[in-house]
Amino acid sequence: MLSWARRRAAQWVPGEGGKGGAGRRRAWARGRGSAAFAVLTAGLLAFHRAVPNSVGRLGSLLESFLPWLGLVVPVLLVPALLRRSAIALVALLLPVAAWTYLFGGLFLPGARSGPDDLVVVQHNVSDENTDPAGTARALADAGPDLIALQELVPTALPVYEETLARDYPYHAVRGTVGLWSKHPLTDARLLDIRPQGIAGPWSRGLRTVVATPYGEIAAYVAHLPSVRVRASGLASSWRDESAGLLGEAVAAERRKTVILLGDLNGTVDDRGLTPLTSRMNVAERGFALSFPAAFPLARIDQVMARSATVAHIRTLPATGSDHLPVAARITLR
């Protein structure tokens, strides 16, 4: 057994068994393909903005699933160990470093709750939800200050209003989006974020003012158009246009503190949401993958803030929707 171990070690350590030099050269020669793939993965993580969006919106498509590139590391690690490839193992440090820089902070514990924190819930309840009452109760059980809902269909809206009325006496609904609050709401109005290519009734934006115990804040609720992954790439032009209109509305908002809750049909890494992410803070802690509910691949349900910090975001248990609800803690400045 000891002699076998020495022979194996001789392939890694120079000067052992008289074959160290050759073993070391073989260790660095093997696995160049895996090393190249690791370097490519690190490059995509670190320089994803360099991937062009001109053809099929490939940049946005990559950014929609950017955290999943981290799976390349364990996939390449196994053959690198089996083949004892030094070059592949060293190269794998690059995607590990890039992934940790981009996403590692999301796993760190958040700061403790403070006296000026708001807890909010964001949920696309689905227009096919067969249990709106149960969904409403589940969201209220989380005890948030605000509950933002999308895909409110006329048949289900009275159920949400009745179920939430006791704990959330204030609410505003415009089109298919609404906000329920423990605190008074004023100046509620429709927010026009409809892309030019969409005809007919389409009301998916709401702006109102929430009189919190810590001062008045502007609250926006939005549901941006859906995107589709096709053979030609990512179809997101309507979503991008709507995000631009929403970003302009936030930029024009006169109140200092703004919170945005919505199904934005995009991740915070997706450049299609740059009109929003360039103006607002996103969650500092928490991954909270929210869609699809059966096997969440991305967080497209977002909570953002201006002049406030989204300290932590998490998912809540599944409801009758194809989205998972997300709950966030916002620290007002």
The CATH number of whichever domain residue 197 belongs to comes to 3.60.10.10
Pairing of strands 177-181, 185-190: unpaired
Pair 53, 165 in one domain:
no
Is 146 domain-assigned? yes
d(CA 79, CA 83): 6
Answer whether residue 4 is part of any domain: no
Q: Kindly state whether residues 129 and 78 are assigned to the same domain.
A: no
| Among 316, 325, 317, 309, CA closest to 113 | 309
Whether the predicted pLDDT of 17 surpasses 50: no
Tens of pLDDT, residue by residue over 280-298, are 999 999 999 999 999 999 9
Do both 176 and 122 map to the same domain?
yes
The pLDDT score that the predictor gives to residue 212 is 96
191 and 320 fall within a common domain: yes
Q: Is residue 24 part of a domain?
A: no
Q: How far apart are CA 308 and CA 280, in angstroms?
A: 9
Per-residue confidence (pLDDT) for residue 18, from 0 to 100 = 44
Domain of 189 in residue numbering reads as 111-332
Q: What is the pLDDT of residue 28?
A: 65
Domain co-membership, 73 together with 134: no
**Six-digit token string for 275:** 């009109």
From 106, 133, 166, the end of a domain falls on 106
In a domain, 59, yes or no: yes
Q: How far, in Å, CA of 104 to CA of 45, rounded?
A: 13
Cα 268 off chain centre by = 5
Buried b (16+ CB within 10 A) or exposed e, 132-153: beebbebbbeeebbbbbbbbbe
pTM given for the model: 0.89
Asked if residue 1 is part of any domain, the answer here is no
**pLDDT tier at 104, thresholds 50, 70, 90:** very high
Kindly state the average pLDDT of the residues 312-317.
Answer: 97
Contact 56, 232 (CB under 8 A): yes
* Same domain? 308 vs 213: yes
Residue 25 lies in a domain: no
Q: What is the mean pLDDT of residues 65-84?
A: 94
Grade residue 8 by pLDDT with cuts at 50, 70 and 90. very low
Domain annotation covers residue 199: yes
Same domain, 159 and 244: yes
Q: Are residues 130 and 92 in the same domain?
A: no
- pLDDT number for residue 321: 98
Compute the distance between CA of residue 302 and CA of residue 104 in angstroms, rounded to an integer: 19
The pLDDT of residue 324: 98
pLDDT tens column, 147-188? 999 999 999 999 999 999 999 999 999 999 999 999 999 999
180 CA to centre of own chain = 23
**pLDDT value of position 27:** 58
Indicate whether 184 and 326 sit together in one domain. yes
Average pLDDT over residues 74-99: 93
Could you read off the pLDDT of 204-222 as tens digits, one per residue?
999 999 999 999 999 999 9
Residue 240 domain-assigned (yes or no) = yes
- Extract the tokens encoding 236: 């997101």
141 and 91: one domain? no
pLDDT over 60 (residue 122): yes
Same domain, 85 and 123: no
326 contacts 320 by C-beta, under 8 angstroms: no
Share of the chain above pLDDT 70, in %: 91
User: For the residues 264-268, what does the mean pLDDT come to?
Assistant: 98
Q: Nearest to residue 103, comparing CAs of 306, 275, 332, 282?
A: 282
Final residue before a domain boundary, out of 60, 75, 106 = 106
One domain for residues 249 and 270: yes
Given a cut of 80, whether residue 5 has pLDDT beyond it is no
Within 8 A by CB and 6+ apart from 246, the residues are: 191, 193, 205, 220, 222, 224, 260, 275, 276
Q: Which of 67-76, 78-87, 124-133, 237-246 has the lowest mean pLDDT?
A: 78-87
Query: How many domains would you assign to the chain?
Result: 2
Q: Which of residues 111 and 143 earns the better pLDDT score?
A: 143
